[in-house]
A and B are shown apart, each in its own frame.
Chain A
Amino acid sequence: MPSLIRPTFIGRMLFVWSLIIVAFFVDPAPAMAEYGDVVINNYSDAAGMRPVVFPHWFHRIRFRCKVCHADLGFKFKAGGNDINMYKIIEGKFCGACHNGKIAWSVKNCIICHSGKPGTPIQIHESTQQELAVPTGFLTK
């Protein structure tokens, strides 16, 4: 029985090109954010802003945990700190560094408010998240 995939030039080319095309169309695995990324969405969605994505890894390269979690009073709970822009501008929470002196200022809204709209509060990839999927995460 003659088959299309034969050791001929066209056969080989067909095989190679089909593999390439399949590789383009097949999504091998879902892309995931970095372990420990915190999505903060206490007020953002309701205010028409994108939720905040806090990259933990980026900050721990530059500051030890103590700086934020002891000195600045960040509780160890995603969404558990009542952060709003007034407090940040007054120099509390993020505003302690994001004041244009230690780090870039709060005027760069879109660098923090960069999450997909509607993303629930979470610590990304956390054990708890794997046990209990946050509400609305799968239905989107």
Chain B
Amino acid sequence: MKHLLKLMQFSLLVTLLGALLNPAVAATTSAKDSAKPATSKATAPEPVYQYSTRPPAIAGGTNPFNRLLKVAKVPHQPPSNDEIHDPTNQGSTILQPPLEAYDGLPQTESGLGNGVDWVKALDDGHLKPRWERTDPTAEPMVMDMNIVRVPKSSMPDVVFPHRQHTLWLACSNCHPDIFIPRRGANQINMAAIVLGQKCGVCHGKVSFPVSECKRCHSQPKKVAVNGGGPN
């Protein structure tokens, strides 16, 4: 298949070059109807600069907002084409491509990360991942308790939902190594998270990335913002 494609490309290139380099073809075609456009061009005034009416080539406008200086990527590539797996390895082609697995799963608005709303997929019953390795009927011990954290900055308050986390994780995954289970005992800041500590142990690696600010900073501030000082 690959060879056939290459052959097709090559033949196309050859025909194109042949047509370009053949002056007879170009001359005859230009001679045939050179009269009509030539007269219309002659009467036209000196061209003034015209703003393009075409849609911008880059999505998001001619000046897209790209504060992270990210290179456009093609996400969810099959393992044989994802730059990490070795395409010469036979095992790479055995693996399931991600998009095939995501078929039917709810998507997030931003499409960041896997682009899958994993918790919604659980809630809606699209997924039934095992809680115990060998027992498909075991159910997680879900704890429904929200913790509101008030950031020092003007960002909206953070609502930490225990429910969504205990659907996936055991208490011992976070407590007490990552978060001390006591009010006021944990100093959390975005720098630490971005560097892979605290929430960043999972968020930004496997769970939804930290660029989805609003999913954590989800509750409007109750007190007036005082210029970033302590509330």
A interface residues with partner B (beta carbon < 8 Å): 2, 4, 6, 8, 10-11, 14, 17-18, 20-21, 24-25, 28-37, 39, 50, 53, 55-58, 60-67, 69-72, 76, 96-97, 102, 108-117, 119, 123-128, 130-131
What sequence of 0s and 1s flags, for each residue 61-88 of chain B, a beta carbon within 8 Å of any chain A beta carbon?
Answer: 0000000100111111101011111100
Taking a contact as CB atoms under 8 Å apart, the answer to whether B129 and A116 are in contact is: no
Please pick, from B72, B112, B170, B204, the residue contacting A28 in the complex, using a CB distance under 8 A. B72
Query: Which residues of the other chain, A, contact B96 by a CB distance below 8 angstroms?
Result: 58
Taking a contact as CB atoms under 8 Å apart, the answer to whether B140 and A114 are in contact is: no
Q: Is B202 an interface residue (CB 8 A)?
A: yes
B96-115 at interface with A (beta carbon < 8 Å): 96, 98, 101-102, 112-114
Query: Which residues of the other chain, A, contact B25 by a CB distance below 8 angstroms?
Result: 10
Q: Is B127 an interface residue (CB 8 A)?
A: yes
Taking a contact as CB atoms under 8 Å apart, the answer to whether A66 and B168 are in contact is: yes
Q: Is B185 an interface residue (CB 8 A)?
A: no
Given contacts A8-B33, A35-B114, A127-B209, contact A61 B82 (CB under 8 A): no
> Which partner residue on chain B sits nearest A104 by CB separation?
B94
Query: In the bound complex, what is the Cα–Cα distance between A97 and B130 (angstroms)?
Result: 12
Query: Which residues of the other chain, B, contact A61 by a CB distance below 8 angstroms?
Result: 101, 127, 129
Please pick, from A8, A102, A127, the residue contacting B32 in the complex, using a CB distance under 8 A. A8
Q: Is B40 an interface residue (CB 8 A)?
A: no
> Which partner residue on chain A sits nearest B200 by CB separation?
A127
> Which partner residue on chain B sits nearest A131 by CB separation?
B194
B interface residues with partner A (beta carbon < 8 Å): 5, 9, 12-13, 15-16, 19-20, 25-26, 29-30, 32-34, 37, 68, 71-77, 79, 81-86, 89-92, 94-96, 98, 101-102, 112-114, 116, 118, 127, 129-134, 140, 167-170, 172-173, 194-196, 200-202, 204-206, 209-211
Other A-B pairs, 14, CB within 8 Å; known A24-B9, A32-B82 = A31-B77, A33-B77, A33-B83, A33-B85, A36-B205, A39-B84, A64-B130, A64-B140, A64-B167, A66-B168, A110-B91, A126-B204, A127-B211, A131-B194
Taking a contact as CB atoms under 8 Å apart, the answer to whether A21 and B85 are in contact is: no
